[in-house]
């Protein structure tokens, strides 16, 4: 069918997590603690930038949080405000200069920014600035906002940041820092989450509410699509940088299916409960005679529980995850993922031997990992292996922050259901329907389902590859 069978990772990959604070003593330590709750969103690099009102301090580097801050701990970054970032690259490869926050100096002083998402007009805007003589220090699309903020066209006018943000297209949640304040913004479609919490007399921004919980903050609300929230000595205030969209929002449904931690509230809905609903719906749509339901941990756990509850087939843990191996989708190079995938999950033979097993996972993107695991289950003595998936087949690329931009990487784009079943060597295979997926949400019309349907809520300004902005 034209698919490269040597593509080894079956999971989607998303780009990063954000954490910002204002009015909080020892801001860097709070950011560091909160970013641990977001480490699942990015393991390539991490950084923290803080300010005490006079001095801006920054530490960042490649690797996990614990690795980056071994030499220079968060206590070395003074200040009561700051922003932090954990990164997976969806635009720009994994290299030191692409780690965020990006710190830059304008005529009016130092700024820093951190980004989650993909800008769909980045290539065109970058080329325009380069032709005008601008120098870029990274190959990320995030840096576009830096040049807009520094541009005299915006710098000398009122609502400077709002005007800069209004030029951006695509998916973004941004945290922006000055020496005196922190600003949070979401794109007009709301693709990527960003929440606001209170911590004492201060404020916290976070990509997921689990990070607010981690630092002891109380969740207040989400930053609204098209909103810029500014927190500084004057307090907290809101402004908008674009006209409200006329149609539905574009909240990424994969946040609930896979990316977010189950203890988070994302887009106003509990992730754990959503995934249980998806598992229940999957069991109703695609029942199977079986002895055992087992999840692919960790993101398949809740869906498997829902499947078990709805089907009355008992659930057990036939896969045991090695937590010392990172989430394989985070590793940027395919060879790295191939080397580590078989180390990630071990099988408990006594659980699966002589059993008809239903394996529940949140998604199948490429299929090679799924195939190897099914073969391993058979070697461990499973009598039958039935695959059930709590989202529809992923057939279309994403341009808004998930790193599967090419249909050639997607097994469902080139194979029908029976061909996929045959490839992964399952006894049966079924996905929840798109209607079934949407039934788990209170506001189903406000979610982007483009990777399933090919219909995107926002226009795609440019075709995208993660290394488009790099020079060879």
Kindly tell me if the per-residue pLDDT of 339 is higher than 50. Answer: no
In the chain, pLDDT over 70 holds for what percent of residues? 88
Alpha-carbon torsion (36, 42, 43, 48), positive or negative: negative
pLDDT digits (tens, 9 = 90+) for 236-282: 999 999 988 888 899 999 999 999 999 999 999 999 999 999 999 99
- Least Cα distance to 306 among 270, 283, 263, 276 occurs for 276
**431 domain-assigned:** yes
Kindly tell me if the per-residue pLDDT of 464 is higher than 60. Answer: no
**395 domain-assigned:** yes
The confidence score (pLDDT) of residue 3 equals 38
Q: Are 392 and 452 in contact, with CB atoms under 8 Å apart?
A: yes
Alpha carbons within 13 angstroms on the beta-carbon side of residue 70 total 7
The confidence score (pLDDT) of residue 4 equals 35
Which of 208, 234, 259 is the C-terminal boundary of a domain?
259
Q: For residue 52, what are the CA distances in angstroms to 58, 82, 178, 198?
A: 12, 9, 11, 19
Kindly tell me if the per-residue pLDDT of 138 is higher than 50. Answer: yes
Which of 201, 228, 259 is the C-terminal boundary of a domain?
259
The confidence score (pLDDT) of residue 340 equals 45
Together in a domain, 319 and 378: yes
**76 domain-assigned:** yes
pLDDT digits (tens, 9 = 90+) for 49-69: 999 999 999 999 999 999 999
The confidence score (pLDDT) of residue 217 equals 98
Q: How confident is the model at residue 469 (pLDDT cuts 50, 70, 90)?
A: low
Tally the domains of the chain: 2
Average pLDDT over residues 310-317: 98
Q: Phi-psi region for residue 79, left (φ > 0), alpha (ψ -120 to 50) or beta?
A: left
Q: For residue 214, what are the CA distances in angstroms to 68, 306, 315, 457?
A: 20, 27, 30, 33
The structure's pTM equals 0.90
Average pLDDT over residues 4-17: 52
Read off the CATH number of the domain in which 278 is found: 3.40.50.2020
Together in a domain, 222 and 284: no
Together in a domain, 198 and 281: no
432 CA to centre of own chain: 22
Mean pLDDT of the chain: 89
Alpha carbon distance 163, 180 (integer Å): 20
Which of 259, 294, 312 is the C-terminal boundary of a domain?
259
The confidence score (pLDDT) of residue 139 equals 86
Q: How confident is the model at residue 465 (pLDDT cuts 50, 70, 90)?
A: low
Together in a domain, 193 and 304: no
Together in a domain, 341 and 246: no
Together in a domain, 31 and 97: yes
The confidence score (pLDDT) of residue 162 equals 96
Kindly tell me if the per-residue pLDDT of 175 is higher than 90. Answer: yes
The confidence score (pLDDT) of residue 6 equals 31
Together in a domain, 279 and 253: no
The confidence score (pLDDT) of residue 408 equals 83
Alpha carbon distance 382, 372 (integer Å): 14
**268 domain-assigned:** no
pLDDT digits (tens, 9 = 90+) for 179-207: 999 999 999 999 999 999 999 999 999 99
Query: Which two tokens mark 214?
Result: 């981690």
Together in a domain, 153 and 300: no
Kindly tell me if the per-residue pLDDT of 92 is higher than 70. Answer: no
Q: Are 289 and 314 in contact, with CB atoms under 8 Å apart?
A: no
**264 domain-assigned:** no
**462 domain-assigned:** no
Average pLDDT over residues 308-334: 76
Kindly tell me if the per-residue pLDDT of 88 is higher than 90. Answer: no
Tell me which residue range forms the domain holding 82. 16-259
Together in a domain, 336 and 302: yes
Q: How confident is the model at residue 39 (pLDDT cuts 50, 70, 90)?
A: very high
Q: Name the residue with higher pLDDT: 235 or 138.
A: 235
The confidence score (pLDDT) of residue 1 equals 35
Average pLDDT over residues 369-389: 96
Q: Which residues contact 8 (CB under 8 A, 6 or more apart)?
A: 334, 337, 338, 341, 366, 368, 369
The confidence score (pLDDT) of residue 10 equals 54
**90 domain-assigned:** yes
Q: Please tell me the least confidently modeled range out of 158-167, 317-326, 448-457.
A: 317-326
Q: How confident is the model at residue 117 (pLDDT cuts 50, 70, 90)?
A: very high
pLDDT digits (tens, 9 = 90+) for 449-458: 999 999 999 8
User: Beta-carbon neighbour count of residue 54 at 10 Å?
Assistant: 9
Together in a domain, 255 and 277: no
Average pLDDT over residues 8-31: 82
Q: Are 215 and 199 in contact, with CB atoms under 8 Å apart?
A: yes
**51 domain-assigned:** yes
The confidence score (pLDDT) of residue 325 equals 62
Q: For residue 296, what are the CA distances in angstroms to 216, 237, 239?
A: 31, 43, 43
Read off the CATH number of the domain in which 126 is found: 3.60.20.10
Kindly tell me if the per-residue pLDDT of 311 is higher than 50. Answer: yes
Together in a domain, 34 and 154: yes
Active site residue 16: yes
Together in a domain, 293 and 429: yes
Kindly tell me if the per-residue pLDDT of 89 is higher than 70. Answer: no
Alpha carbon distance 87, 99 (integer Å): 7
User: Beta-carbon neighbour count of residue 6 at 10 Å?
Assistant: 8
Q: Over the Cα atoms of the chain, what is R_g?
A: 22
pLDDT digits (tens, 9 = 90+) for 425-462: 999 999 999 999 999 999 999 999 999 999 999 888 65
């Amino acid at each position: 069918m034209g698919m490269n069978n040597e593509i080894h990772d079956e999971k989607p990959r998303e780009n990063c997590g954000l954490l910002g604070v204002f009015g909080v003593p020892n801001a860097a330590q709070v950011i560091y603690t909160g970013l641990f709750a977001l480490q699942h969103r990015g393991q390539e690099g991490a950084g923290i930038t803080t300010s005490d009102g006079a001095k801006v301090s920054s530490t960042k580097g490649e690797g996990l949080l614990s690795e980056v801050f071994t030499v220079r701990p968060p206590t070395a970054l003074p200040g009561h405000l700051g922003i932090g970032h954990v990164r997976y690259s969806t635009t720009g490869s994994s290299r030191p200069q692409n780690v965020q926050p990006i710190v830059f100096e304008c005529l009016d002083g130092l700024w820093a920014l951190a980004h989650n998402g993909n800008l769909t007009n980045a290539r065109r805007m970058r080329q325009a600035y380069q032709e005008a003589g601008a120098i870029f220090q990274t190959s990320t699309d995030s840096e576009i906002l830096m040049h807009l903020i520094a541009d005299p066209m915006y710098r000398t006018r009122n609502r400077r940041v709002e005007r800069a943000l209004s030029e951006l297209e695509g998916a973004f949640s941004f945290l922006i820092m000055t020496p005196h304040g922190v600003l949070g913004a979401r794109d007009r479609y709301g693709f990527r989450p960003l929440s606001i919490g209170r911590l004492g007399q201060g404020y916290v921004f976070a990509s997921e509410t689990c990070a607010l919980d981690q630092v002891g903050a109380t969740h207040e609300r989400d930053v609204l699509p098209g909103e810029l929230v500014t927190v500084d000595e004057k307090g907290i205030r809101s402004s908008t940088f674009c006209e409200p969209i006329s149609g539905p929002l574009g909240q990424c449904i994969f946040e609930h299916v896979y990316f977010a931690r189950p203890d988070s509230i994302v887009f106003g809905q509990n992730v754990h409960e959503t995934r249980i609903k998806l598992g229940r719906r999957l069991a109703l749509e695609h029942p199977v005679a079986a002895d055992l339901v087992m999840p692919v941990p960790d993101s398949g756990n809740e869906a498997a529980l829902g499947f078990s509850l709805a089907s009355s087939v008992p659930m057990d843990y036939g896969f045991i995850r090695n937590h010392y191996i990172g989430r394989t989708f985070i590793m940027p190079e395919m060879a790295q993922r191939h080397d580590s995938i078989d180390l990630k999950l071990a099988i408990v033979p006594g659980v699966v031997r002589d059993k008809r097993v239903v394996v529940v996972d949140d998604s199948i993107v490429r299929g090679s990992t799924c195939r190897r695991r099914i073969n391993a289950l058979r070697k461990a003595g499973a009598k039958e292996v039935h695959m059930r998936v709590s989202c529809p087949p992923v057939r279309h690329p994403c341009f808004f922050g998930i790193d599967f931009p090419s249909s050639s990487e997607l097994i469902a784009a080139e194979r029908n259901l029976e061909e996929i079943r045959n490839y992964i060597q399952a006894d049966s295979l079924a996905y929840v329907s798109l209607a079934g997926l949407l039934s788990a949400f209170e506001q189903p019309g406000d979610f982007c389902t483009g990777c399933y349907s090919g219909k995107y809520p926002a226009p795609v300004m440019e075709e995208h590859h993660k290394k488009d902005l790099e020079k060879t």
